[in-house]
Amino acid sequence: MKKLYRSRTDRKLSGVLGGLSKMVGIDPSILRIAFIILLFPTGFFPLILIYLACVFIVPEESDVR
């Protein structure tokens, strides 16, 4: 089973989307573009709140291994 972690090498802000893309197995750029596109219809706040929660809850890659 794959674990979710924040990537240390594939990061733009905190590595949440980079780690999620490794877990799911898709290109991180596609996931980042989808995140940006989804920000507009949700009104920014819900996705930003979820992202910030993941920054504090999801461990970094070095803590997992």
- Structural domain boundaries in the chain: 1-59
Do the Cβ atoms of 4 and 56 come closer than 8 Å? no
Q: What is the pLDDT of residue 1?
A: 75
Q: Give Cα separations from 54 to 4, 18 (angstroms).
A: 10, 12
Q: What is the pLDDT of residue 62?
A: 80
Q: What is the pLDDT of residue 54?
A: 93
Q: What is the pLDDT of residue 35?
A: 94
The residue type of 40 is: F
Decide: helix, strand or coil at residue 35. helix
* pTM for this predicted structure: 0.83
The residue type of 8 is: R
Ramachandran category for residue 44: left, alpha or beta (phi over 0 → left; psi -120 to 50 → alpha): left
In the predicted structure, residue 65 carries a pLDDT above the cut 70: no
| Each residue's pLDDT tens digit, 13-59 | 899 999 999 999 999 999 999 999 999 998 889 999 999 999 999 99
